[in-house]
A and B are shown apart, each in its own frame.
Chain A
Amino acid sequence: RKEVEQDPGPFNVPEGATVAFNCTYSNSASQSFFWYRQDCRKEPKLLMSVYSSGNEDGRFTAQLNRASQYISLLIRDSKLSDSATYLCAVLSGTNAGKSTFGDGTTLTVKP
């Protein structure tokens, strides 16, 4: 079993739709969690960190469920510009800053 697993996707949604991605992790000692966005042929960029209490940034909401060991990303009112691959990353807490990334979920928002 992979240490970090994401919904396989791809997700194809119309503009204005709400879409949610999940990411499960196997190490219960994991401490920090992140969502990154990667555009085609570009480098990943941090979208948002995921806090225990959940956090929201505009149309994006990230949540952490430690009991079930997963994080989620909710995108409301999808825009064409949201089309990208979304990578989750989990930091185990050892070896300062070494995160494990999921394989990514590809989102395509269509007009």
Chain B
Amino acid sequence: NAGVTQTPKFQVLKTGQSMTLQCAQDMNHNSMYWYRQDPGMGLRLIYYSASEGTTDKGEVPNGYNVSRLNKREFSLRLESAAPSQTSVYFCASSGGGGADEQFFGPGTRLTVL
């Protein structure tokens, strides 16, 4: 099992460009999450999907959109990147229904110039 995979690992964008971060899990988990982590800070939830077909905003959703493509895949889109979105982005999944520990992907390091 690969667990949670993310692509790309690194990305540099110019202000105003758009991109999509991809995430996939092979653990048959119901719930998936997107977090951002800024230097010296904890994880802040951007969006989450409690189950296939549903998505909800987290703590910091502005400037982002998500798609739960199927049970395995959950993508995060930046429509018009801004320097304030420079961060490390982690995708995570959990079983849901009481199996609440989260499994994280390796992260995407995004720099917006």
Binding site for B on A (CB under 8 A): 32, 34, 42-46, 49, 87, 89, 91, 95-104
Contacts and interface: CB of A to CB of B under 8 A. Distances in A.
Nearest to A3: B59
Interface of B: 30-31, 33, 35, 40-43, 45, 48, 50-51, 56, 58, 90, 94-97, 99-107
> Lowest 3 A-B CB distances belong to which pairs?
A103-B42, A43-B104, A97-B31
Contact of B97 (A96, A98, A99): A96
17 contacts: A34-B100, A34-B101, A43-B105, A43-B106, A44-B43, A46-B102, A46-B103, A89-B102, A96-B31, A96-B97, A96-B100, A97-B31, A97-B96, A98-B58, A99-B100, A100-B45, A101-B43
Most buried by B among A43, A45, A99: A43
Contact of B43 (A32, A87, A96): A87
B28 to A, nearest CB: 14
A96 B96 contact: yes
A87 B94 CA distance: 17
A99 B102 contact: yes
Given A43-B90, A43-B105, A43-B106, A97 B42 contact: no
A96 B101 contact: no
A96 B100 CA distance: 8
A93 B52 CA distance: 19
Nearest to A93: B100
Contacts of A101: 35, 42-43
Contact of A45 (B35, B94, B95, B104): B104
A97 B43 contact: no
B27 to A, nearest CB: 13
Contacts of B42: 87, 101-104
Most buried by B among A34, A45, A49, A101: A101
A82 to B, nearest CB: 19
B43 A95 contact: no
